[in-house]
């Protein structure tokens, strides 16, 4: 798995007052929930319990993929660009002229939203789109 997916569906739980330390795997497929807790104490520490959680999660995903319990997601009809967070927008200026942009949108943290626009007139259709995709990718990678 790549770096973004190393802890996908895995959460660290630490509750000193309850003596709970470990990793929890939680997945949901077609309304059915799957969860399992991997205690540090049982597995010999944080790293071994994380490895056990990943192994269980990967086996579960493999099993679900072979069971027909997965679904094929089609792109949303609202997304015409094909790239999440990138859209083509039109703005009416105060002079009545229309201005066209490709806009990249992302959330740097909960409750915050950022966007940047690239003029189609200045960069061309493909250039503005490419810049918007690059800007979003750069912003969400940190």
**Domain presence at residue 135:** yes
97 and 53 within one domain: no
pLDDT at 7: 64
- Please list the rounded mean pLDDT of every run of 10 residues in the chain (142 residues): 60 90 88 91 95 93 70 62 87 92 90 93 94 92 77
pTM: 0.47
Q: Is 72 domain-assigned?
A: no
Per-residue model confidence (pLDDT) at position 61: 85
Q: Based on the fold, state whether residues 107 and 62 are members of the same structural domain.
A: no
Q: Of 66, 94, 113, which residue is a domain's last?
A: 66
| Same-domain status, 90 and 61 | no
User: Could you tell me the residue range of the domain that residue 111 belongs to?
Assistant: 86-141
Residue 81 lies inside a defined structural domain of this protein: no
Task: Verify that 49 and 91 share a domain, yes or no.
Answer: no
Provide the number of structural domains found in the chain: 2
What are the structure tokens assigned to 101, written together? Answer: 């942009």
Residue 21 shares a structural domain with residue 62 = yes
In a domain? residue 77:
no
Answer whether residue 15 is part of any domain. yes
Assess if residue 73 is contained within a domain. Answer: no
């Amino acid at each position: 798995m790549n770096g973004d997916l190393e802890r996908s569906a895995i959460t660290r739980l630490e509750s000193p007052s309850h003596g709970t330390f470990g990793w929890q795997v939680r997945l949901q497929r077609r309304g059915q929930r799957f969860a399992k807790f991997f205690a540090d104490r049982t597995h010999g520490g944080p790293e071994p319990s994380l490895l056990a959680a990943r192994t269980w999660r990967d086996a579960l995903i493999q099993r679900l993929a072979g069971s027909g319990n997965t679904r094929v997601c089609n792109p949303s009809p609202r997304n015409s660009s094909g790239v999440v967070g990138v859209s083509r927008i039109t703005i009416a200026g105060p002079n009545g002229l229309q201005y066209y942009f490709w806009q990249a949108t992302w959330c740097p943290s909960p409750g915050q939203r950022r966007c940047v626009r690239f003029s189609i007139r200045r960069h061309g259709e493909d250039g503005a789109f490419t810049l918007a995709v690059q800007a979003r990718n750069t912003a969400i990678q940190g």
